[in-house]
């Protein structure tokens, strides 16, 4: 690959994702935390966990920026490589599982409204979230053992989780295929099934307002876009790598798309929660007022300075 092209691209995507994703996910985390403290609902619990997943990726993203600046080599202590790889990939796949759980929650709410309201218990949702974290962590922990235990090509010019020996690939390629099937394909099929039926049922409900239907369509569009644009290319690289017995050279670019998910999930939060919409409006109004006050103060200062200069000139 051409590093003169790759490094600026990778670094630019990381920076954009960090600058957009961090404040928006912090806003979502705060809003859902307040909602859960006041009146917990299963959807808010799931959305809170999704924001935590994104924040974990964003917190460790500066390490990937350092790697990009160093021409895709790992200049930091090697033990950090294993940790960053584990958190990075675990955040990606917990996001797919939480997106799937949200789609199931939405579908049950419209397909079986009476049973859903009767059996809607936050304890079950908390248990489901705990299962997702544990299951995804166990799946992605294999990357840690690959980096740490299997003999590698370690040298002074080290790449982090990029160049693999034949011994490593013997374990890594089947593992990637299994992860693709279990943590992407199955959740994607479930999500498509739930949201197709969710929209179909919602459209036939005359009492649901047009605005709510538009919000539901926006929610579905954002979720499926995340799966198709952010997660699908990366998981397709697992299938191609298994067939060709090696990582495809374009895998780095598919990983960039998966990283962008952290800056796209806030759109899902916006369509999913009126609290997020209200909080965002308050933030925009507050920032606008501060900018106007700053501009007004600067203008008054300039006017005062000009009048002083004119007075001094006349004297």
In angstroms, the CA 90 to CA 84 distance is 10
Q: What is the 3-state secondary structure (H, E, C) of the chain?
A: CCHHHHHHHHHHHHHHHHHHHHHHHHHHHHHHHHHHHHCCCHHHHHHHHHHHHHHHHHHHHHHHHHHHHCCCCCCCCHHHHHHHHHHHHHHHHHHHHHHHHHHHHHHHHHHCHHHHHHHCCHHHHHHHHHHHHHHHHHHHHHHHHHHHHCCCCCCCCCCCCCCCCHHHHHHHHHHHHHHHHHHHHHHHHHHHHHHHHHHHHHHCCCCCCHHHHHHHHHHHHHHHHHHHHHHHHHHHHHHHHHHHCCCCCCHHHHHHHHHHHHHHHHHHHHHHCHHHHHHHHHHHHHHHHHHHHHHHHHHHHHHHHHHHHHHHHHC
For 293, which DSSP code?
A: H
Task: For residue 230, give every residue at least 6 positions away whose Cβ sits within 8 Å of its Cβ, in sequence order, or none.
Answer: 257, 258, 260, 261, 264
In angstroms, the CA 149 to CA 64 distance is 22
In angstroms, the CA 30 to CA 127 distance is 21
Instruction: Confirm if 256 and 13 have CB atoms less than 8 A apart.
Output: yes
- For residue 195 the two structure tokens come to 């949201």
Q: Where are the domains of the chain?
A: 3-277
pLDDT of residue 171: 85
Q: State whether residue 76 is helix, strand or coil.
A: coil
Burial profile 198-234: b = 16 or more Cβ within 10 angstroms, e = fewer: bbeebeeeeeeeeeeeebbbebbebbbebbeebbbbb
Place of tokens 């218990």: 121
pLDDT of residue 71: 83
Q: What is the CATH class of 3-277?
A: mainly alpha
- For residue 292 the two structure tokens come to 């106007």
Place of tokens 């920076």: 15
- For residue 9 the two structure tokens come to 């691209």
pLDDT of residue 234: 94
- For residue 227 the two structure tokens come to 């799966």
Q: Torsions phi, psi of 155, nearest 5?
A: -155, -175
| pLDDT tens digit at each of 315 positions of the chain | 444 457 788 889 999 999 999 999 998 898 889 888 888 888 899 999 999 999 999 999 999 999 888 888 888 888 888 888 899 999 999 999 999 999 999 898 888 877 777 667 788 899 999 999 999 999 988 877 776 666 554 544 577 877 777 878 888 899 999 999 999 999 999 999 999 999 888 888 877 778 878 888 888 888 998 999 999 999 999 999 999 988 888 888 898 999 999 988 888 887 776 776 776 677 777 777 776 655 545 545 554 554 554 445 444
């Amino acid at each position: 690959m051409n590093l003169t092209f790759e490094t600026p691209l990778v670094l630019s995507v990381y920076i954009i994702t960090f600058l957009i994703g961090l404040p928006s996910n912090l806003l979502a985390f705060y809003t859902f935390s307040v909602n859960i403290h006041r009146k917990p609902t299963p959807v808010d619990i799931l959305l809170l966990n999704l924001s935590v997943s994104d924040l974990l990726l964003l917190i460790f993203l500066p390490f990937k920026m350092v790697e990009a600046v160093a021409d895709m080599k790992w200049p930091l202590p090697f033990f950090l490589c294993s940790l960053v790889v584990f958190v990075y990939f675990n955040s990606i796949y917990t996001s797919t599982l939480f997106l799937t759980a949200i789609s199931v929650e939405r579908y049950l709410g419209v397909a079986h409204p009476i049973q859903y309201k009767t059996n809607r218990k936050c304890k079950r949702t908390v248990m489901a979230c705990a299962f997702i974290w544990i299951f995804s962590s166990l799946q992605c922990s294999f990357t840690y053992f690959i980096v740490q235990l299997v003999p590698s090509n370690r040298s002074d010019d080290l790449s982090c989780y990029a160049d693999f020996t034949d011994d490593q690939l013997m374990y890594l390629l089947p593992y990637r295929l299994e992860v693709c099937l279990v943590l992407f394909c199955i959740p994607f099929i479930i999500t498509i099934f739930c949201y197709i039926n969710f929209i179909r049922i919602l459209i036939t409900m005359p009492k649901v307002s047009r605005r709510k239907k538009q919000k539901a369509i926006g929610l579905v569009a954002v979720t499926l876009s995340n799966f198709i644009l952010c997660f699908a290319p990366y998981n397709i690289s697992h299938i191609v790598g298994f067939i060709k017995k090696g990582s495809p050279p374009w895998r780095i670019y598919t990983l960039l798309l998966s990283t962008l998910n952290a800056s796209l999930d806030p759109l899902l939060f916006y369509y999913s929660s009126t609290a997020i919409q209200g909080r965002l409006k308050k933030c925009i109004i507050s920032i606008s007022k501060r900018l106007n006050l700053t501009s007004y103060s600067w203008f008054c200062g300039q006017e005062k300075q000009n009048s002083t200069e004119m007075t001094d000139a006349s004297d």
